[in-house]
Amino acid sequence: MRLTVLTDNCTRVGTTFWGEPGLSYLIEVDGKKVLFDTGFSELCVRNADALGNSLSDLDIIILSHGHGDHTGGLEYVLEVAASNEIRLVTHPLTVVEKQKDGRQFGLTVALEKLQQSYTLKLSREPVWLSEHLIFLGEIPRRHSFELQDPLGERLEKGVFVPDDLLDDSALALRTDEGLTIITGCSHAGICNIIDYAREVCQQTRVLTVIGGFHLCKADEQARKTAEFFRYNQITNLYPCHCTSFEAKAVIHTIVPIHDVAVGTIIDLN
């Protein structure tokens, strides 16, 4: 598997890529070309072109959840990759209207447009995307230290209600050697995601974790997350996007982490 970071909060000196507070990855696995999230804007398309890796021949698009920093670029992806042969897989609540502080906070492409443009799969259950790659669906929330307050609101039966982000999901790559976990924001909790991936894939060893961990402070949650990594011997970590410097520092003192920026390429067996 090859994972290329198309959109992230960080860029590197000496590169000519664009960054923004969003996330998008291009994943090449099992002969499939998979776009995981689309960032805030057109930058996933621009950066893919700059890397010489057009998005025009995608096989699958995955949306980790419905927030704009992960779905806002979809309208630009539609301009270069719109075909009923492309599968778009996400949780059903990803496509509902969301708001925060009275402003639009979610997907900007209408459901009808998605249905016209892609083969749409809305699932709370895990969905195998290829021989080795799986969309995890709705994540059970079992670690009490990862419980989070609602963020914004979602439309439910014509009324906006607090959004507990049940749509937040992730991917897992299963191999004989172990699992690679690929997350968007980890609103469901990165430890919850890892445990569920192990359960679904019937594979206990986790080799690599990359994505947003949604850790904003050097607090108890960050410390317990780092201890979880150490206890489970997960040593190949790529926290990015919504993982603050302070939280990365806490993790790094317990389990060393890798740097991530737009243009980072990770090759995994």
CATH number, domain of 143, equals 3.60.15.10
Q: What pLDDT was estimated at residue 227?
A: 98
Cα(156)–Cα(162) distance, rounded to whole angstroms?
A: 10
Q: What pLDDT was estimated at residue 43?
A: 98
Polymer length in residues for the chain: 269
- At a CB cut-off of 8 Å and minimum separation 6, what does 18 contact? 11, 43, 46, 47, 262
Q: What residue ranges in 149-212 does DSSP mark as E strands? A: 153-156, 159-162, 170-174, 179-183, 206-212
50-66, pLDDT tens digit by residue? 999 999 999 999 999 99
Cα(97)–Cα(167) distance, rounded to whole angstroms?
A: 12
Cα(137)–Cα(123) distance, rounded to whole angstroms?
A: 6
The residue written with tokens 């419905």 in the block is 66
Q: What pLDDT was estimated at residue 258?
A: 97
Q: What pLDDT was estimated at residue 268?
A: 84
- Give one word for 13, left, alpha or beta, with left for phi > 0 and alpha for psi -120 to 50: beta
Q: What pLDDT was estimated at residue 104?
A: 93
User: What's the gap between Cα 24 and its chain centre?
Assistant: 7
**Average confidence (pLDDT) over 105-133:** 97
Please give the span between the terminal C-alpha atoms of the chain, in angstroms, as a whole number.
6
Helix (H, G, I), strand (E, B) or coil at 27: strand
Q: How confident is the model at residue 269 (pLDDT cuts 50, 70, 90)?
A: low
185-238, pLDDT tens digit by residue? 999 999 999 999 999 999 999 999 999 999 999 999 999 999 999 999 999 999
168-187, pLDDT tens digit by residue? 999 999 999 999 999 999 99
> Could you list the residue range(s) of the whole structural domain that residue 7 is in?
2-267
**Average confidence (pLDDT) over 1-10:** 97
In this structure, the strands spanning 98-100 and 153-156 are antiparallel
**Average confidence (pLDDT) over 20-26:** 98
Tokens for 183, please give them: 């997350």
69-78, pLDDT tens digit by residue? 999 999 999 9
Instruction: Please state, rounded to an integer, the average pLDDT across all residues of the chain.
Output: 97
Q: What is the tally of structural domains in the chain?
A: 1
Q: Are 161 and 172 in contact (CB under 8 A)?
A: no
